[in-house]
Amino acid sequence: MMKTILIADDDNAIRRTLELHLSDEGYVVRTAADGHEAIAKAEQQEVNLMLLDLRLPGFDGFEVLKIIKEKRPDLPVIMITAYDDMATAIESIRLGAIDHLGKPVDLDHLDEVIEKVFEMSLLAREGVIFRDAYDTHFEQNIMVGRSRSMKEIYKTIGAVADTRATVLIQGESGTGKEMVARALHFNSQYRNRPFIAVACSSLAPNLLESELFGHEKGAFTGAYRTKPGKFELAEGGTLFLDEISETSLEIQVKLLRFLQEREFERVGGIETIKANVRIVAATNKNLSELVACGGFRKDLYYRLKVVSIDMPPLRERKDDILILVKFLLEKMYLETGKRVDIIPQKTMNQLLEYSWPGNVRELENTLRRAVILSHGTVLLPESLHLDGNRDGDRFALVIKPLHEVEREHIENILIYTNYEKKRAAEILGISRPTLDRRVKEYGLDDSPRS
């Protein structure tokens, strides 16, 4: 079927050039010379694509774009403007244009862009559309996934939530260990009591000890007053010890004693304190291997794994990917206000082929980046940037020095926060001066993008 393209430009010469060229390329061409005509013709359903000049008599091109996007949200619009600067490009895309080209128009480039737009709408028609998913109420704490292994995990959570049994959750990073810990707590009768999470790797051993067990006034320099630890604060609820493998052997001794006797002393204290706290621990290391090489106490290991839950990596439950993608795109919509809800088969294939070494967290970050950078409602395969790391080739992208990974990560977070450095530093868990230093060191553009 022949495609119809509408050209809206007040400059006769440009209109004529584009009309001739596009007819030669085999398109049916309509033209409009001012804003009113542009809006009227864009409403005709047979128009498949529109080229819109930013400056039209009687109307600002942005106004025209807004009106057209209201009347025909499905019509792809390419903005053409003499003001080929960042601000107009950003504003065009923000208002829903699919692309933005500068004048004079490079005809070869125009052909490419048009072809791509048509290919995209073709992809969109074949794609899985799930607008209905947005009608369901979004729950932040819900785990999705209906694979066999996830169903087993839900059952285990249901069976042990109400017991106070210690649980050890093992699995690669990003598989949902913390979500399981929360689910254990919030599905128990103790859900109104505190849930407290401690990342054991984030503090030096002596700080971690006082964080967990508290300290007495004068226990060390700077201990001006007695401070209760997380064990006391979690009274009646759950204490989640994330990355338990990172605790020092001294702390392991104290944890073991707590699990055996349900009691401990604050740092520098003599009073024995009792606490009724359920312990859930998580690790992405293989604890039994660590035990074998002396890096983790065997007796503590057995005390922790009264109940043990193993989180399967995402690559071993690929039947969960589609539902996770739907769920996460909905989450991104609430986060960013951008709706991307059409997944072409080609994109789906890439998502399924990839090995996801960073599991659900990586999937989430990949989708977040794709949504932020996308210009429409279609999740394009190339916006995923998954090229080099398919199954079987899973290390192709990860063989690089740490500083490069750090640089990329910082850059992604800066883009994600739109260069709001205060937020970026918070997310990265580093101080503002540290972030500034890294930005400078790595030569990352630190100007706001809008």
Ligand X SMILES: Nc1ncnc2c1ncn2[C@@H]1O[C@H](COP(=O)(O)OP(=O)(O)O)[C@@H](O)[C@H]1O
Q: Which residues bind ligand X (CB under 6 A)?
A: 143-145, 171, 173-179, 324, 327, 360-361, 364
144 vs 415, beta carbon nearer ligand X: 144
Q: Which is nearer to ligand X, 127 or 176 (CB)?
A: 176
Residue 4 DSSP symbol: E
**Which residue number, 178 or 426, has a Cβ lying nearer to Mg ion?**
178
For the bound state, the minimum distance from the C-beta of residue 446 to ligand X, rounded and expressed in Å, comes to 27
Cβ neighbours, 10 Å, residue 15: 19
Closer to Mg ion at the Cβ: 75 or 157?
157
In sequence order, what are the residues at sequence separation of 6 or more whose Cβ sits closer than 8 angstroms to the Cβ of residue 344? 123, 124, 126, 127, 378, 379, 380, 381
Sign of CA pseudo-dihedral 36, 37, 39, 40? positive
- End-to-end, the C-alpha distance of the chain in Å comes to 40
- Provide, rounded to whole angstroms, the least separation between the CB of residue 243 and Mg ion: 7
CB of 306 to ligand X, least distance (A): 20
- List binders of Mg ion among 43-102 (CB under 5 A): none
Fill in the amino acid letter for 209: E
* Of 199 and 348, CB closest to Mg ion: 199
Handedness of CA 75, 76, 80, 85 (dihedral sign): positive
Question: Is 265 a residue that touches Mg ion (CB under 5 A)?
Answer: no
CB neighbours of 33 closer than 8 A, spacing ≥ 6? 8, 9, 10, 12, 15, 57
Q: Distance between CA atoms of 308 and 258, rounded to whole angstroms?
A: 19
The least distance separating ligand X from the CB of residue 176, rounded to whole angstroms, comes to 3
By CB under 5 A, which span of 5-13, 176-184, 224-232, 271-279 interacts with Mg ion?
176-184
Residue 174: name its binding partner from Mg ion, ligand X, none (Cβ under 5 to 8 Å by kind): ligand X
Judged by CB, which is closer to Mg ion: 197, or 322?
197
**Minimum CB distance to ligand X, residue 4 (Å):** 43
Helix (H) or strand (E) holding 145: none
Compute the least distance from the CB of residue 278 to ligand X, in Å: 18
9 binds, among Mg ion, ligand X, none (CB under 5 to 8 A by kind): none
Q: List beta partners, residue 267.
A: 215
What 3-state DSSP class applies to 28? strand
User: Minimum distance from CB of 201 to Mg ion (Å)?
Assistant: 10
Shortest CB 142 distance to ligand X, Å: 7
Q: Report the amino acid identity of residue 6.
A: L
Rounded CA separation 212/267 (Å): 10
Q: Would you say 97 or 332 has its CB closer to ligand X?
A: 332
Question: Judged by CB under 5 A, which stretch of 119-127, 175-183, 315-323, 414-422 contacts Mg ion?
Answer: 175-183
Q: Which of 79, 82, 120, 109 is nearest to 97 (CA)?
A: 79
411 binds, among ligand X, Mg ion, none (CB under 5 to 8 A by kind): none
Which residue number has the CB closest to ligand X? 176
Minimum distance of ligand X from residue 248's CB (angstroms): 21
Q: Starting at the edge strand that comes first in sequence, how are the strands of the sheet with 307-310 ordered?
A: 195-199, 238-242, 278-283, 167-170, 307-310
Q: Which of 25, 34, 63, 178 binds Mg ion (CB under 5 A)?
A: 178
Sign of CA dihedral 344, 348, 354, 355: positive
Q: Which stretch binds Mg ion (CB under 5 A): 130-138, 173-181, 311-319, 440-448?
A: 173-181
> How many residues of this chain bind Mg ion (CB under 5 A)?
1
Nearer to ligand X by Cβ, of 101 and 332: the residue is: 332
User: Taking Cα atoms as reference points, which of 62, 70, 72 lies closest to residue 4?
Assistant: 72
Query: Taking the complex as a whole, how short is the minimal distance between the CB of residue 363 and Mg ion, in angstroms?
Result: 15
What is the C-alpha R_g of the chain? 28
Nearer to ligand X (CB atom), residue 286 or residue 431: 286
Pairing verdict, β 227-228 and 307-310: unpaired
10 binds, among ligand X, Mg ion, none (CB under 5 to 8 A by kind): none
Question: Which partner, ligand X, Mg ion, none, binds residue 121 by CB below 5 to 8 Å per kind?
Answer: none
Helix-then-strand count for the chain, H and E: 18, 18
The DSSP symbol for 378 reads: B
The interaxial angle of helices 61-71 and 86-94, nearest 10 deg, is 20
1 Cβ partners below 8 Å, 6+ apart?
A: none
Nearer to ligand X, 179 or 290 (CB): 179
Binding site for Mg ion (CB under 5 A): 178
